[in-house]
Chain A
Amino acid sequence: MNFSLTKEQELFQQMIRDFAENEVKPLAAEIDEQERFPIETVEKMAKIGIMGIPIPKQYGGAGGNNLMYSMAVEELSAVCGTTGVIVSAHTSLCAAPILENGTEEQKQKYLPKLASGEWIGAFGLTEPNAGTDAAGQQTTAVEDGDNYIINGSKIFITNAEYAHVYVIFAMTDKSQGTRGITAFIIEKGTPGFSIGKKEKKMGIKGSATCELIFENCVLPKTNMLGKLSKGFGIAMKTLDGGRIGIAAQALGLAQGAINETVKYVKERKQFGRAISAFQNTQFQLADMNTKTEASRMLVRKAAYKKDQKIPYSVDAAMAKLYAAETAMEVTNKAVQLHGGYGYTREYPVERMMRDAKITEIYEGTSEVQRMVISANMLK
């Protein structure tokens, strides 16, 4: 049993923390306010390999692992939740399923561009009538010679507007339910594929969340990801990995809120003393820090197990459930400790609270995580 980071991981953490502080933090309030996708940050991250951390070197990645990737999402999210989810959706939901399920040809074609950050990746599973009930897919893929004809739409797609590659899911055989779903890789610009309306969100406002529309979109059969009818399994496995990313995002948001709050309570004076001198402040901080550290242990354990190729689906669910609920609780307390100032946009904690809420919802709601965890206990 070893709870220490290796020297390599410490060096990595130092680099990513410097990068987050100097390149990401200065833009966080602005991209939230303007609901603007931080493309310049993505370019900077691409240059130093942050867009391909767990992708093997043979496919142009950094050759790191999922633990390093989770640390990166944590550190980025500690200063900007939007930047954290851009990296998470790109890595966990697009590059990872191609790496894990793609043919050698597909890997050679897509991974070097994704890992270098030249291309941004996205993932399309959710539909207006298929959220938590992902099996209720309405998008269809009908065989037509060497092609499939795709019709339907996807909603709430992170990175949609700026992505070049999408991993999407469609019904190839409606009569088979979940066993009739197939995964496909689709590139931007494919005839019949367009980006629909952009959502106006409560938080993570800089991430471009849009609809994907398929109107008689012709996709060559070579773009099928994995085998015919195996899409549901690919989607669920992909989301297991994605949950590590979102748990890391939630963890980062909680840590970021703590960092801001510790600074504030030492400066803010009431009744002639810094508010850090009051026991209520101290006890709130102690609870915030304890839960955040517990989240960190769960996130790192899940990432470690994925790296060791040990089944980690329940660990990822626990990490996401606990880290997301902790992020919501900690950011809420951070706003409370900031008082009236915390409710204003002068301080970053209100943004962190808005950003934290989504971590309880996307890539499996907290309720879905509880289903995954308890199903494993009762099987």
Chain B
Amino acid sequence: MKIVVCIKQVPDTTEIKIDPKTGTLIREGVPSIMNPDDKGGLEMALQLKEEQGAHVTVITMGPPQADLILREAFAMGADRAILLTDRKFAGADTLATSYALAGALKKLDFDLLITGRQAIDGDTAQVGPQIAEHLDLPQVSYLEDLKFDGDKTFTMKRHIEEGYQILEVEAPCVVTVLASANNPRYMSVGGIVDAYQKEVEIWGKDQIEVDETLLGLKGSPTSVHKAFARGLKPAGELYEVETDEAVGIIINKMKEKFIL
């Protein structure tokens, strides 16, 4: 089986800086991570690889420094990595992004295309489904679990508001995965050592099948009216306990913070 996983590098901070002129993110100087839903998608692919054997390709569209998450994917167990990077891609909205990615994906042969549900920077959840439309493939979003029958049918568990849907879908298809689907593995030490011996393939607009006028800021119908940083709020802790115990926890926390 051949699997392609789309991953994205996102800023690992609640304090996102935005370019006031274009309304797009400034990534320079902000610590970056692999988007959590995408990491869940990669873990799903790597589990399929372990259980049934698969070749896993990861692809990202981004600036040259997005190389880091591709190395991370290698260190987790991916077999091939492609960095889609070109100045012409800069400033793309979801439509222009999915268009460029679809242009690259047309050059790849796969049975399953996995994307994360959404990225923690934009939170649109649009790119995965749009890629499926560009490629004219069936799609299933919000996946919690996926099994393969070894031939060509996937059984999928899809998270919906009222519960779950169980679906059977034939390859090739596109799925979007939730971070809650699994606990992504750590990179292995040996994997990290090897990750920098392997080659990350770099593709620009000339290596893929696209119409240049539909790329980047120019090809993006979305115009950002106003962008602003949201207020900071600590993450908080969640306990599921009986009332008496909950009161005790709250009192202890207030003592810890010297409120009491």
Residues of A within 8 A of B (CB): 6-8, 11-12, 15, 18-19, 47-50, 52-53, 57, 61-64, 68, 72, 267-269
Contacts and interface: CB of A to CB of B under 8 A. Distances in A.
B195 A8 contact: yes
Report the 6 A-B pairs with minimum CB-CB distance, sorted nearest first. Answer: A49-B189, A62-B189, A62-B190, A8-B196, A48-B188, A15-B187
A22 to B, nearest CB: 9
A11 B188 contact: no
Nearest to A346: B256
B187 A11 contact: yes
B189 A11 contact: no
Given A267-B257, A269-B258, A8 B192 contact: yes
Contact of A68 (B72, B189, B194): B189
A52 B189 CA distance: 9
A15 B75 contact: yes
Contact of B186 (A15, A57, A64, A268): A15
A56 B192 CA distance: 14
Contacts of A6: 196
Contacts of B194: 63
B72 A11 contact: yes
B71 interface: yes
A11 B68 contact: yes
B113 to A, nearest CB: 26
Nearest to A16: B189
A52 B187 CA distance: 14
Contacts of B189: 12, 15, 48-50, 52-53, 62, 64, 68, 72
Contact of B190 (A63, A267, A269): A63
A1 B71 CA distance: 26
Contacts of A49: 188-191
Contacts of B72: 11
Given A18-B186, A267-B258, A12 B71 contact: no
B186 A8 contact: no
B112 to A, nearest CB: 26
A269 B191 CA distance: 46
B251 interface: no
A40 to B, nearest CB: 15
B193 interface: yes
A72 B193 CA distance: 14
B71 to A, nearest CB: 6
Contact of B258 (A18, A47, A53, A268): A268
A306 B255 CA distance: 49
A13 B76 CA distance: 15
Contacts of B188: 47-49, 62
Nearest to A51: B189
Contacts of B191: 49
Nearest to B194: A63
Nearest to A60: B190
B7 to A, nearest CB: 15
Given A8-B195, A62-B193, A19 B257 contact: no
B195 A48 contact: no
Nearest to B183: A22
A49 B194 CA distance: 13
Interface in B236-260: 257-258
Interface in B160-201: 185-196
Interface in B58-91: 68, 71-72, 75
B87 to A, nearest CB: 23
Nearest to A8: B196
Contacts of A12: 189, 192
A11 B192 contact: yes
A235 to B, nearest CB: 28
Nearest to A269: B258
Contacts of A267: 257-258
A68 B196 CA distance: 14
A50 B187 CA distance: 11
A69 to B, nearest CB: 9
A53 B189 CA distance: 7
B196 A7 contact: yes
Contacts of A15: 75, 186-187, 189, 192
